[in-house]
Structures are given as C-alpha cells and as structure tokens.
C-alpha cells in the first residue's frame, strides 16, 4: 500500500492533537495560573486515588505470577508450529530497550538522594541515618523492579493473544478487549478505548520530555559554559525536535535502530565505568542488602498510603511512578506482543518480569549506590547541594557526575550523548506508535505516513514546552497521572477479555491435558 492511500482515522487523531496542542499552548502562555491548576489537580488526583494505583500495581504482580504458574502458562502465543523469532537474549534486550529510556538515566543518580532525607516509612533521617541509607537503596529497587514491569507486562498478553492466536488484524487495544465487548470494539466504545490509549501515550511521553529537556540543558551548559536558562532549554528542545523531525522525514528508520544499538553499548560502558571506579564493594553489598529489604517488605511497600500523616511520599513517588508506567504500558505492550510470537505465556511473564527488573536493578545498584556512597561516606554532601540549588535535580546530577574521576571530560560528555540518543529513540518510537494507532488497517510491517509521524513529533514537543514553562516538576508528573487513571479500567477490561478467551479456547483441553498445545483451530474472534 502506498503512503498516500493510507487513511487516517480522523476521529482518533484530532482529539489527541488538538487537546495536547491547546494544553501545551495554554501552559506556555500562562505558566503562573498553569502551576496553580497543576498543584490542585495533583493533590486531588493523587490523594483520592493513591489506593487505586497501589492496589492496581500489586494486582498486576499477583495476577501475572498466578497466570505464569497456572496451567494457562503452557499456552503458546501463536499457532502450534510458530517458533520464537528472536533468540532469548535479543528478545530480552529488545523488551528492555522498548520500555526504558532517559528516565532511568535521570532517576538512578538522583532518586536515592531524595530518599536519604525524605522521612519515608516514618523513619527519622536525623536520628536513624543507617536505616534511612539502607531504605534509600531499597526504594530504588522497589520503584524500578517487579511491580513496574508487571504493569508493563499486563497488556502484553491480551494483545499478543488477539494478534497471534485470534488473528485479529488490528494493532489497537480495543481489539484486545473483544473477548468481552465483542463487536462493540468497532463502535463508539472501541473508539473511546483507543482515544484513552492515545492520551495515555501522549501524557507518558510528556513526562519523559519534561524531565529530559532540563537535564540535557544542564549537561550542555556544563560542557559549553552557557548558563542553563529557560531560553537554552527552549533551544535544546527545538534542536532535538528538529533533529528528530528531519530524521523521521528522511525516513532514517535504520539509522534510528542503529543509534539504539549504539546506545546500549554506551550504557554498558557508563555502568562499568562507575562500577569500576567504585566503591565496587559498597555497590555490591548495598545492592544485596536492598534486595533483601525489598523482598521482605514487598507487601508493605506496595500498599503504603501513609493515611494518617499524609506526608506526600507515596503520592510523589510510588503513585507517580506507577502512573507513568501505566501510561507507557500500551506502547510497550504492543511492541512486546509483536516480538513474542511463538513463546508461551509462562515464558513471556517471567521473561518480562525477571529480565526487565534485573536491567533496572543494575542501573540503580551501580549509579544509585554511587550517589548514596557519596553522601554516607561524607565525600560529597549531595543532599545539601540538592536543597541549596532549590531542589534542582539537574544541578545535583551534574555535581554527582563531576565528583567522579574523569567526570568532567569523560563521563559527562558520553552521558550527554546517551541522553540525546535515548531521547531521540523514545520520541521516534512514540511518534511512530501514535501514528500507527491513528492509521486505518495498518498491518504489522507497514509504515504509517510520515507527515503524520512528524506532526506527532511536533505536538509532543509543544506539550514539553508547556510543561517546562510552568517550571514545576509536579506538572511533569501530573502529565502521566491524569492519563493513567482512565487507562486502568481499560487494562482491566483487557485482562477479563483474555481470561474469557483462554477459557473458551482451552478450558476443556486443559482439564484433560495439562501440557496442552494450542488447538488446531481456534474460533476466529471477529
Ligand atoms: N518509564 C520507564 O522516559 C523513559 O525513559 C520512558 C519511562 C515508564 C518510567 C519510560
């Protein structure tokens, strides 16, 4: 099919484009009132729904572990003779790279520094220094481990089952709800579901861009000596968006893929760098300890709402993170479903939970461990830097990086390249997924029209501009929280749909033959 003849589903595309454009513009024009609205909305949503986000996160873990271990785990995502397309290593690496970008680079260094003084779990940072230091390591492993990966994994199964077993030719989430909503997937209900998904993607990416641009600016200003002003942020954003737009326009899909590969090597290098310059032993001891604390307190951490003192920790961290992963879950789910044909449900459940968590844990163990050690060993008072810079994450990250041997001339420049490539690849896959969502009847290997991809890139840039204008981290966080809330019922609907399909297709077979292969012929869903 040629590019021109591909049709855009306007009723899906315009709500997202227009609303995002308007929000981006309003926030840039009225940053002061924008900040006030953001504060109120943030407080209302997180306070009223923190229980929901936390329970949903835990539900994802429990459901998937049950699914993977149960007899349903034997079911293959595909036809009986389908085999996996990729080796397990490549597959795991692809899953990790699809789900992880600039965010981990950003938070791994700075997140534990906040924890060192946060009063989390009512521990007093002044009198219980040892415990708070240990918890700082633990929380990183918790917030970037099993639960987030379970949130990512949840939509993978209904989508994979819909496309590989039911052979539904639509790469949309409404299609994966068919088990329950049937042909209403083609009507207004299906449309509503897909619009919710599009907003979720936009909101999640807004958070990523809102964090990445100031960090990129701080790094560039450190290298060039230019002051990290708002105008420099805008320049960075414009240059990044322009670079990205040109790449998309020129159709350099291969180029982006190669950049993504290169980035994994850069990340290995930077992880090894810190691991070797050390404190190597502390990093290992602290990691081991953090995992122990996390596993032992897993349920408590998962459900801690701080209902009496309402100190804001669960809202500002756990709830925000869960929402952000929820917002990205459809995008990652669509991707992982596509690359997992021929694997069993069990393999995909545990592959995603184990490899995904392990990847994130290593970043936090090494970079986070390094930052904790700076503080607890007295080498650098990172917390005071954070406080005195007016809670500027970026100033603090740069200070942490500068404290390393070779920080200024080796680590920071390479780190800047890492951030830029991460940003370009995230933006690229986001624009790509968004435009394939609004293109009608796009099959697995077709490209959505490039004007459409470019338009999404620009709209996302505009949203980032608006979020940055408010200058508030809360605005950036809210972007994910608002969109994640309506997505939760959609994800649950998909789960019910999956279970209904599994029971219909395999319920009888699995009663007599636990190691069942897929039935020769599964009733088509449409
Ligand atoms: N998550 C992993 O910006 C990014 O790195 C994209 C963000 C959901 C926090 C993923």
CA of 111 to the centre of ligand 1 (A): 14
Interacting residues of 468 by C-beta distance below 8 A, sequence separation 6+:
210, 213, 214, 230, 233, 234, 237
pLDDT the model gives residue 512: 66
Percent of the chain with pLDDT over 70: 92
Ligand 1 and 101: CB distance under 6 A: yes
**Whether the Cβ atoms of residue 466 and residue 206 lie closer than 8 Å to each other:** no
DSSP secondary structure, 449-491, as one string: PHHHHHHHHHHHHHHHHHHHHHT-HHHHHHHHHHHHHHHHHHH
pLDDT the model gives residue 521: 53
pLDDT, mean of residues 500-522? 70
CA of 295 to the centre of ligand 1 (A): 23
CA of 244 to the centre of ligand 1 (A): 18
CA 202 from chain center: how many Å? 12
pLDDT the model gives residue 297: 95
Ligand 1 and 317: CB distance under 6 A: no
pLDDT, mean of residues 92-107? 87
**Whether the Cβ atoms of residue 274 and residue 370 lie closer than 8 Å to each other:** yes
pLDDT the model gives residue 460: 85
Host domain of residue 374: 10-521
pLDDT the model gives residue 255: 62
Q: What is the mean pLDDT of the chain?
A: 87
Helix (H, G, I), strand (E, B) or coil at 309: coil
pLDDT digits (tens, 9 = 90+) for 126-164: 888 889 999 999 999 999 999 999 999 999 999 999 989
**Whether the Cβ atoms of residue 445 and residue 191 lie closer than 8 Å to each other:** no
pLDDT the model gives residue 436: 81
Q: Does residue 430 belong to any structural domain of this protein?
A: yes
Angle between helices 188-224 and 412-438 (to 10 degrees): 160
CA of 475 to the centre of ligand 1 (A): 16
Task: Name the band, by pLDDT with cuts 50, 70 and 90, for residue 439.
Answer: confident
CA of 316 to the centre of ligand 1 (A): 16
Overall pTM surpassing 0.95 (yes/no): no
Which residue minimizes the CA distance to atom 10 of ligand 1?
Answer: 100
Q: Count the Cβ atoms, other than its own, within 10 Å of residue 450.
A: 17
pLDDT the model gives residue 1: 41
Task: Name the band, by pLDDT with cuts 50, 70 and 90, for residue 518.
Answer: low
* 3-state helix/strand/coil string of 56-116: HHHHHHHHHHHHHHCHHHHCECCCCCCCCCCCHHHHHHHHHHHHCCHHHHHHHHHHHHHHC
CA of 280 to the centre of ligand 1 (A): 27
Rank 163-172, 253-262, 442-451, 494-503 by mean pLDDT and report only the highest. Answer: 494-503
CA 315 from chain center: how many Å? 17
pLDDT digits (tens, 9 = 90+) for 194-234: 999 998 998 898 888 888 888 888 888 888 888 878 888 88
The tally of domains found in the chain comes to 1
Q: Name the residue with higher pLDDT: 496 or 423.
A: 496
pLDDT surpasses 70 at 333: yes
Say how far apart CA 392 and CA 82 lie, in whole Å.
Answer: 51
pLDDT the model gives residue 517: 54
CATH of the domain at 164: 1.20.1740
Ligand 1 and 100: CB distance under 6 A: yes
pLDDT surpasses 60 at 379: yes
Q: Does residue 25 belong to any structural domain of this protein?
A: yes
Task: Name the band, by pLDDT with cuts 50, 70 and 90, for residue 4.
Answer: very low
pLDDT the model gives residue 328: 93
Ligand 1 and 325: CB distance under 6 A: yes
pLDDT digits (tens, 9 = 90+) for 387-411: 898 888 888 999 999 999 988 899 9
Atom of ligand 1 nearest to the CA of 105: 5
pLDDT digits (tens, 9 = 90+) for 291-312: 999 999 999 999 999 999 988 8
Task: Name the band, by pLDDT with cuts 50, 70 and 90, for residue 522.
Answer: low
Q: Does residue 247 belong to any structural domain of this protein?
A: yes
pLDDT digits (tens, 9 = 90+) for 74-90: 899 998 888 998 888 88
pLDDT the model gives residue 516: 53
pLDDT the model gives residue 422: 82
Q: Does residue 391 belong to any structural domain of this protein?
A: yes
Q: Name the residue with higher pLDDT: 63 or 96.
A: 63
Q: Does residue 1 belong to any structural domain of this protein?
A: no
Which residue minimizes the CA distance to atom 5 of ligand 1?
Answer: 101
Interacting residues of 92 by C-beta distance below 8 A, sequence separation 6+:
351, 355
Q: Does residue 72 belong to any structural domain of this protein?
A: yes
Q: Does residue 495 belong to any structural domain of this protein?
A: yes
CA of 303 to the centre of ligand 1 (A): 22
pLDDT surpasses 90 at 515: no
Rank 116-125, 171-180, 297-306 by mean pLDDT and report only the highest. Answer: 297-306
Residue whose C-alpha is closest to residue 468's, from 175, 296, 298, 238: 238
**Whether the Cβ atoms of residue 60 and residue 503 lie closer than 8 Å to each other:** no
Ligand 1 and 107: CB distance under 6 A: no
Helix (H, G, I), strand (E, B) or coil at 167: coil
CA of 42 to the centre of ligand 1 (A): 20
Q: What are residue 8's DSSP bridge partners?
A: 439
CA 130 from chain center: how many Å? 31
Q: Does residue 3 belong to any structural domain of this protein?
A: no
pLDDT digits (tens, 9 = 90+) for 61-78: 999 999 999 989 989 999
pLDDT the model gives residue 97: 82
pLDDT the model gives residue 444: 57
**Whether the Cβ atoms of residue 396 and residue 112 lie closer than 8 Å to each other:** no
Which residue minimizes the CA distance to atom 8 of ligand 1?
Answer: 325
Which residue minimizes the CA distance to atom 2 of ligand 1?
Answer: 100
């Amino acid at each position: 099919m040629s590019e021109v003849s591909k049709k855009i589903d306007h009723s899906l595309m315009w709500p997202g484009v227009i609303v995002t454009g308007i929000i981006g513009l309003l926030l840039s024009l009225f940053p002061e009132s924008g900040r006030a609205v953001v504060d109120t909305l943030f407080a209302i949503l997180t306070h009223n729904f923190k229980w929901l986000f936390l329970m949903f996160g835990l539900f994802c873990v429990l459901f998937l572990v049950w699914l993977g271990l149960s007899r349903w785990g034997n079911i293959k995502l595909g036809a009986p003779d389908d085999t996996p397309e990729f080796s397990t290593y490549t597959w795991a690496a692809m899953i990790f790279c699809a789900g992880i970008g600039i965010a981990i680079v950003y938070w791994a260094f700075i997140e534990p520094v906040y924890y060192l003084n946060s009063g989390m779990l009512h521990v007093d940072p002044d009198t219980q220094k040892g415990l708070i230091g240990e918890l700082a390591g633990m929380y990183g492993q918790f917030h970037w481990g099993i639960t987030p990966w379970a949130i990512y994994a949840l939509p993978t199964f209904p989508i994979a089952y819909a496309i590989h077993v039911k052979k539904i030719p639509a790469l949309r989430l409404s299609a994966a709800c068919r088990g329950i909503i049937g042909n209403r997937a083609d009507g207004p209900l299906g449309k509503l579901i897909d619009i919710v998904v599009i907003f979720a993607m936009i909101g999640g990416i807004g958070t990523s861009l809102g964090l990445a641009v100031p960090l990129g600016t701080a790094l560039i200003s450190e290298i060039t000596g230019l002051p990290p002003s708002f105008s420099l942020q805008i320049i960075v954003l414009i240059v990044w968006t322009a670079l990205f737009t040109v790449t998309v326009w020129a159709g350099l899909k291969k180029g982006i893929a190669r950049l993504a590969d290169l980035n994994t090597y850069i990340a290995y290098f930077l992880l090894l760098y810190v691991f070797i310059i050390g404190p190597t032993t502390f990093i290992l001891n602290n990691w081991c300890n953090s995992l122990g604390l996390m596993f032992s307190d897993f349920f408590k951490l998962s459900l801690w709402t701080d209902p009496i003192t309402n100190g804001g920790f669960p809202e500002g961290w756990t709830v925000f993170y869960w929402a952000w992963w929820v917002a990205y879950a459809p995008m990652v789910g669509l991707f992982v479903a596509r690359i997992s044909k021929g694997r069993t449900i069990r393999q995909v459940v545990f592959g995603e939970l184990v490899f995904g968590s392990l990847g994130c844990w290593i970043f936090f163990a090494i970079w986070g461990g390094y930052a904790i050690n700076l503080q607890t060993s007295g080498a650098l008072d990172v917390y005071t830097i954070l406080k005195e810079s007016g809670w500027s994450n970026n100033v603090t990250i740069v200070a942490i990086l500068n404290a390393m041997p070779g920080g200024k001339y080796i680590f920071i420049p390479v780190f800047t390249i890492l951030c830029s490539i991460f940003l370009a690849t995230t933006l690229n896959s986001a624009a790509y997924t968004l435009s394939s969502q609004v293109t009608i009847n796009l099959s697995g290997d077709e490209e959505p029209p490039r004007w459409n991809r470019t338009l999404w890139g620009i709209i996302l840039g505009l949203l980032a501009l608006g979020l940055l204008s408010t200058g508030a981290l809360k605005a950036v966080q809210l972007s994910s929280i608002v969109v994640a809330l309506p997505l939760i019922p959609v994800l649950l609907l998909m789960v019910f749909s999956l279970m209904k399909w599994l029971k219909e297709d395999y319920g009888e077979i699995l009663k007599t033959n636990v190691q069942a292969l897929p039935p020769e012929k599964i009733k088509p869903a449409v």
